[in-house]
Amino acid sequence: MDIGTFNFGLAGIGLAVVYALGFLSAVDAVMKTRTPQGTTAWVFALATVPLVAIPLYFILGRSRFDDYVDALRTFDNEIADGLEQASHGALKAFLAPHGTAEGREVGEMQAFDQMATVPFTTGNQIELLVDGDDTFDALFAGIDAAERYVLAQFYIIHDDQIGRAFKERLIAAARRGVEVRLMYDTVGSIKLPRSYRRELDAAGVTVCPFSGPRSWLKKLRLNFRNHRKIVVCDGRVAFAGGLNVGDEYLGRDETIGNWRDTHLRVHGPIVQGLQLSFCRDWFYGTREEIDGLQWEPTASEEADQTALVLASGPADEIETCGLLYAHVIESAEQRIWIATPYFVPDGRVLGALQLAALRGVDVRILMPRTSDSIFFKYVPYAYLPDVARTGVRVFLYEDGFMHQKVAVVDRDFAAVGTANFDNRSFRLNFEATVVAHDEGVCDDVARMLERDLASCTEIGLKDIEGKSFAFRFAANATRMLAPVL
């Protein structure tokens, strides 16, 4: 056998192996991809160009986080039952009675209760923290006041001025005997230097990246990110919302300029819902049960608001985040105001928004004109023709970059959290959303958004029709990337 024939035979064997792997990956896509459009796209790519599609599918194609599901199964069997029994037992006196709701609200509350780990509770106080200064002042005060423990979790942590101030607060807490745990996402915080963690470790802060005890091969799966931003202090007060730890969140990035964001400080039984979410993530990362946490809730003395935490993610059996918004949009009667930095809705939610506008609901979408991503520069215009033709109003925030993830529907639903209005937040990221069923909170959120609207410019069909062909092509092309944006 000459060398040419031998090499040709090897190439044939290699090609057969590649196509066999492509076939097996296509079978996996059929079984595990959550949308028919995604399934069709991946099967076609894996069957026709497997050499390119296989690594892309391995990194980006999976929509269910099997590693986390396996860890959660262990957590649920060995630990969570006890924690949830403790939290539910302690929360029993605060569970919101559905009998106090009216009409469609009963169904909404029941649906949300089924989606959340901890159902609606009363006795909560929810305080809006507008922008970085208010948020970090409140957050640092909470950490400074902690006596027993601090649980902190962020998607992005930078080693800059505010990042170092955050680190020093955690170190000071640890040195006075507070048990401090910090979790960060390995993708979002990829630039965080090892020295940052070493200083925390040396001071007694327990630090864990959200990666878990996985092989190097599984760590290539970059599609699943923990986008949650949660801080719990002593099980009495907690913080959650849109802000990560970085100078840009205080408007110190000269390129981006002013940074508009919203965070929450919460008291009451809802804190236990955020705490349970942290415990699940921590167990995935460390396989460690956290002992000595405060599961006995304390009602706020200043408010009696009804709320819950929706901790959603790719380990969910159903797509809870997308279902949450689809349900409230379909049920809306007067208004739907949504503020999001990234508006990439799937067909189900897009159709619900269109139908709401057609039946006379005041539907408004607030997005930033300035974006921190070149792709999202075109997003407001990508979906503008679809929504504007049905009466949905689109507003672009002009005073810097708007990063808040906020929604208010009628006067009985308000949501503030980490979830963007896109496929990644609905299906691929771990998110935490605080949902309030309270007129006072809804009014506070609506007033805040009214102030934001004063810094917005409304756009319509004429604004996209006046753009160049190249711009309109780029805007439509971004929709092709919707499954991974």
DSSP codes, 441-485: HHHHHHHHHHHHHTTEEEE-HHHHHTS-HHHHHHHHHHGGGGGG-
Q: Is residue 312 part of a domain?
A: no
Q: Is residue 269 part of a domain?
A: yes
pLDDT interval class at 109 (50, 70, 90): confident
pLDDT interval class at 414 (50, 70, 90): very high
Judgement on whether residues 181 and 237 belong to the same structural domain of the protein: yes
Judgement on whether residues 282 and 386 belong to the same structural domain of the protein: no
Q: Is residue 315 part of a domain?
A: no
Indicate left, alpha or beta for 474 from its phi (over 0: left) and psi (-120 to 50: alpha).
Answer: alpha
pLDDT tens digits, one per residue of 71-87: 666 665 555 555 555 55
Quick one: pLDDT at residue 61?
Answer: 61
**What is the pLDDT of the chain when averaged over all its residues?**
85
Judgement on whether residues 187 and 331 belong to the same structural domain of the protein: no
Judgement on whether residues 130 and 227 belong to the same structural domain of the protein: yes
Please state the domain count of the chain: 3
Judgement on whether residues 55 and 78 belong to the same structural domain of the protein: no
Which letter does DSSP use for residue 160 in this model? S
Judgement on whether residues 373 and 297 belong to the same structural domain of the protein: no
CB 206 within 8 A of CB 182: yes
Quick one: pLDDT at residue 222?
Answer: 62
* 104-110: average pLDDT: 68
Question: Does 234 participate in catalysis according to the annotation?
Answer: yes
Q: Which of 403, 412, 422, 452 is catalytic?
A: 403
pLDDT tens digits, one per residue of 127-149: 999 999 999 999 999 999 999 99
Question: Does 410 participate in catalysis according to the annotation?
Answer: yes
pLDDT tens digits, one per residue of 380-410: 778 888 899 999 999 999 999 999 999 999 9
**What pTM value is reported for the model?**
0.86
Q: Which of 227, 267, 327, 437 is catalytic?
A: 227
Judgement on whether residues 406 and 473 belong to the same structural domain of the protein: yes
Judgement on whether residues 462 and 375 belong to the same structural domain of the protein: yes
Q: Which of 131, 167, 185, 229 is catalytic?
A: 229
Judgement on whether residues 50 and 74 belong to the same structural domain of the protein: no
Last residue of a domain, one of 307, 332, 362: 307
Domain hosting residue 49, numbered range:
3-61
Judgement on whether residues 47 and 133 belong to the same structural domain of the protein: no
Q: Which of 185, 234, 422, 438 is catalytic?
A: 234
CB 33 within 8 A of CB 42: yes
Burial readout 411-441 (b: 16 or more C-beta within 10 A, e: otherwise): bbbbbbbbbbbbbbbbbbbbbbbbbbbbeeb
Q: Which of 346, 410, 422, 438 is catalytic?
A: 410
Residues 161/162/166/169 CA torsion (nearest 10 deg): 70
Question: Does 261 participate in catalysis according to the annotation?
Answer: no
Max mean pLDDT among 216-220, 234-238, 256-260, 302-306 falls in 234-238
Residues 56/62/63/65 CA torsion (nearest 10 deg): -130
Judgement on whether residues 294 and 354 belong to the same structural domain of the protein: no
Per-residue pLDDT at 56 exceeds 80: no
Question: Does 227 participate in catalysis according to the annotation?
Answer: yes
Quick one: pLDDT at residue 474?
Answer: 79
Residue 177, amino acid: G
* 425-434: average pLDDT: 91
Q: Which of 158, 263, 405, 437 is catalytic?
A: 405
Judgement on whether residues 136 and 7 belong to the same structural domain of the protein: no
Quick one: pLDDT at residue 472?
Answer: 82
Instruction: For residue 429, give the nearest of 405, 413, 409, 400 by alpha carbon.
Output: 405
Q: Is residue 314 part of a domain?
A: no
